[in-house]
Amino acid sequence: MPQNWPQYYTSTATTTNQYIPVNQQWYNTSGNSTQTIWQNWNTTTTSTYVTQNTYADQVWIQWNQMPVYQPPVYTPEQLREMEAQQARQRAIYEERNRRRSAARAKARTLLEQFLDDEQKLELERHGRFYVIGSRGRRYCIRAEGQSGNVDLLKPDGSVQARLCCHPRQVPGESYELLPEGDAWLMQMITLRTDEDHFLRTANVHRGSLPAFA
């Protein structure tokens, strides 16, 4: 890769023959066939040449003023330290994944303590379960994350609205959301106890909400 691009300058806005393209050859406007490309590029409807003004050159000037990139050279000690740092980072990620996995399993166990047999079966087989809200409407909680995973169902079972409503990040902790099983549990409890609050809080991703009584 070239470290410097060939520079070209135009001294005034009317100059027509001072281009130096990348192959470093000079061209003029006196009918030389090798400059056809440039002529076509610069020709206007009145067959005059449009030239670059000096402002356009600034890009190239600045490009050529940039320092040449020098890749860093590390000592063996530095390389060893970098590898150790990467290993520490990997261990942190693995520990976090292990902790999250354990939390998900624990949350799922808690959720299942509150599901009846039919809900448990539905969750296991189809990754969802149904809840009757406090106003009698039927909802489907899909085991697909905790955002936009609640469907308000019509009497015929089709989806009337897709809703997003889940617990906030845990106060005082590391801005993490609850594990999914916990979120589904709270979605279910809120629907069973205060369906209107759930609907007022939720964002509607698809469809529309029923009119509130």
Partner 1 sequence: MTTLVAEANRVEDWGGGMIVVLDTTGDTKHIWSRDNADEVAEARSLFDRMVKKGFQAWSVTRKGDKDARITEFDPQAEKIIFAPALQGG
Residues in contact with partner 1 by CB under 8 A are: 99, 102-107, 109-110, 113-114, 146-148, 164-174, 176, 178-179, 181-182, 185-186, 189-190, 192-194, 197-198, 201-203
- CB of 89: closest distance to partner 1 in angstroms? 20
Q: Which is nearer to partner 1, 146 or 160 (CB)?
A: 146
Q: Whose CA is closest to 177, among 189, 185, 166, 162?
A: 166
Q: What are phi and psi for residue 43, nearest 5 degrees?
A: -70, 135
Q: Which is nearer to partner 1, 151 or 179 (CB)?
A: 179
Q: Which is nearer to partner 1, 131 or 160 (CB)?
A: 131
Query: Taking a C-beta distance cutoff of 8 angstroms, is the pair 74, 30 a contact?
Result: no
Query: Taking a C-beta distance cutoff of 8 angstroms, is the pair 112, 128 a contact?
Result: no
Q: Which is nearer to partner 1, 19 or 183 (CB)?
A: 183
Distance CA(131)–CA(135), nearest Å, equals 11
- CB of 133: closest distance to partner 1 in angstroms? 12
Distance CA(77)–CA(83), nearest Å, equals 10
Query: Taking a C-beta distance cutoff of 8 angstroms, is the pair 152, 139 a contact?
Result: yes
Q: Which is nearer to partner 1, 19 or 107 (CB)?
A: 107
- CB of 199: closest distance to partner 1 in angstroms? 10
- CB of 160: closest distance to partner 1 in angstroms? 17
- CB of 1: closest distance to partner 1 in angstroms? 47
Q: Whose CA is closest to 128, among 150, 157, 161?
A: 150
SS3 131: strand
